[in-house]
Amino acid sequence: MKRLAILLTIFLVAGCGWSGSDATGRGGKGTIEYWLWDSAQEPGYQKCADAFAAQNPGLTIHISQYGWDVYWQKLTAGFIAGTAPDVFTDHLAKFAQFADLKVLRPLDSLGPTSDLNDGDYQAGLAQLWKGQDGNRYGSPKDWDTIALFYNPASLSAAGVDPSTLSDLTWNPIDGGTFEKTVAHLTVDVNGVRGDQPGFDKTHVKRYGFGSDGGGGGWGQTQWSAFTGSAGWQATDRNPWGTHFNLDQPAFQQTLSWYFGLVRKGYMPTFQEIGGNNPIGPDKQIQSGMAAMALSGSWMLSTFSNLTDAAGKKLNIGIAPTPIGPTGKRASMFNGLADSITTLSKQPENAANWVRFLSGADCQNIIGRSGVVFPARPEGTQLAIDFNRDSRRLDVTPFTDQVTQKTTFLFPVTTNAADITALMIPRMDAVYLGDAPVSSLTTLNDQLNRLFEVAR
């Protein structure tokens, strides 16, 4: 309980102003309380809940949806107050900490989820949700990768053929064809492009490459595609690594080049994107601040609904991440899962719901909604079809990363909350230019000491 209270304090400090007294529980006999944070996914999961209730007379699902920050604050407060839900959507950035605190129920110990088959899901997803004790604490629900979203109009104005984005390469020395393209897409207030004489990097009208912040969460939508394609990995092993590699040349050279795009005027500054409360890549492309930007597949619905200043739907394109020094492109491979809390008074019923969530019926419902890529391959194909037919979006830059095996797993370690708390200000300082990339060696030492303390 003391460790939970400390964790809650960390969340409250980060969240600013939310009160734990807001935590309430609705779960009761026959009603399973289920929490998620993505409002775009709620309609699909309500359809799953209705289908589940039809197949299980006497059981109903009550879904509660909260915004990202409030969601985790409320969940942590619920563990302390005894008001946590039966089942909740879990994230790899949070999972390890909750596993450490023993607030998750092993799915292996419950009848309906005791025989979940790893082979039913995209390769690698299921193993991420197994604790150091070998037990499963999450049932895979979906997965995501990273790709380049771009505004075709910005490319057309610069004379850039969108098809060339598929073959871009980068390196930490001169940035390769990727940086050349980014420079050409950048234009200052006088109409001079980033690769032309007289370019004013202090007065940029449109950046060639948007930003999603400093990347304190392992740079998933910031620099991870570059460090990954440089052959770097965050820890000595994954999951459950015990030694960090932020002091390695491949990492620091890549970040020196990446944040160097800001110094050259090709990527927005920390202040321009809103500092600690940044406007996302979607808004940067929508407003014309950026021509293209990296973002995750979970943003497909958001990007597909962007409009221009006149309210007309904005045309959006998607391209793969650039090819790095290893000769391959790369993307972090992340996934969400459903976990059961130890506070649930109806764990077997909750397990029935979790099994249904990761089963073909629900996964296909979610796939047909096109919001995310479900964990099951057949659900993934339905999502591909929906985006192609209904949104006219080719999403293969996301899915090819999986089929071509160019993904690497999100780092899963203990001390997750402490790691995030240490990383965010350090990465922001590098982005701001207040600290050199070499200062990340000190951060690396701090992260490694967390494991020494634990031992």
Spell out the domain ranges in the chain.
2-143+336-395, 146-332+413-454
pLDDT in tens, 267-307: 999 999 998 788 999 999 999 999 999 999 999 999 999 99
Ramachandran sector of residue 169 (left: φ over 0; alpha: ψ -120 to 50; beta: rest): beta
Average pLDDT over residues 255-269: 98
Average pLDDT over residues 430-442: 97
Is pLDDT at 377 greater than 80 in this prediction?
A: yes
Nearest to 267 by CA among 247, 290, 285: 290
* Residue 379: pLDDT band with limits 50, 70, 90: very high
**What pLDDT score does 142 carry?**
96
* Residue 363: pLDDT band with limits 50, 70, 90: very high
* Residue 4: pLDDT band with limits 50, 70, 90: low
Average pLDDT over residues 168-195: 98
Burial class (CB in 10 A: 0-12, 13-18, 19+), 311: exposed
Whole-angstrom distance, CA of residue 55 vs CA of residue 60: 10
**What pLDDT score does 454 carry?**
56
Nearest to 332 by CA among 383, 384, 281, 402: 402
Average pLDDT over residues 126-151: 94
The structure tokens listed for 166 are 């598929």
**What pLDDT score does 414 carry?**
84
* Residue 453: pLDDT band with limits 50, 70, 90: low
Whole-angstrom distance, CA of residue 341 vs CA of residue 338: 10
Under DSSP, the state recorded for 429 is H
**What pLDDT score does 127 carry?**
86
> Are 2-143+336-395 and 146-332+413-454 in the same CATH fold?
yes
CA distances from 19 to 76, 178, 277 (A): 12, 46, 20
Tokens 């604490």: give the residue.
137
pLDDT in tens, 314-352: 999 999 999 999 999 999 999 899 999 999 999 999 999
Whole-number average pLDDT of the chain = 92
Whole-angstrom distance, CA of residue 40 vs CA of residue 54: 23
* Residue 3: pLDDT band with limits 50, 70, 90: low
**What pLDDT score does 280 carry?**
95
Contact assessment for residue 77 and residue 8, using Cβ atoms and an 8 Å cutoff: yes
Listed as own residue / partner, the contacts of 8-13 with beta carbons closer than 8 Å and 24 or more positions apart are 8/73, 8/76, 8/77, 8/80, 10/417, 10/418, 10/421, 11/72, 11/73, 11/76, 11/417, 12/73
The structure tokens listed for 422 are 């240490």
- Can you say how many angstroms the Cα of residue 317 is from the centroid of all Cα atoms in its chain? 20
Per-position b or e across 390-417, b if 16+ CB within 10 A of its CB = ebebebebbbbbbeeebbbbbbbbbbbb
**What pLDDT score does 344 carry?**
96
**What pLDDT score does 437 carry?**
98
Instruction: Name which residue leads in pLDDT, 374 or 417.
Output: 374
Contact assessment for residue 177 and residue 183, using Cβ atoms and an 8 Å cutoff: no
Whole-angstrom distance, CA of residue 94 vs CA of residue 128: 12
Contact assessment for residue 440 and residue 255, using Cβ atoms and an 8 Å cutoff: yes
Is pLDDT at 19 greater than 80 in this prediction?
A: no
The highest-level CATH class for domain 2-143+336-395 is alpha beta
**What pLDDT score does 96 carry?**
85
CA distances from 4 to 84, 101, 266 (A): 13, 7, 43
Q: Name beta bridge partners: 292.
A: 150, 209
Tokens 């339905």: give the residue.
382
pLDDT > 70 in the chain, percent: 93
Topology of the domain comprising 146-332+413-454? D-Maltodextrin-Binding Protein; domain 2 (3.40.190)
Is pLDDT at 394 greater than 50 in this prediction?
A: yes
**What pLDDT score does 15 carry?**
38
Is pLDDT at 392 greater than 80 in this prediction?
A: yes
pLDDT > 90 in the chain, percent: 83
Please, what sign has the CA dihedral across residues 112, 114, 117, 123?
A: positive
Q: Name beta bridge partners: 132.
A: none
Average pLDDT over residues 90-100: 88
Model pTM score: 0.90
**What pLDDT score does 240 carry?**
87
Contact assessment for residue 298 and residue 144, using Cβ atoms and an 8 Å cutoff: yes
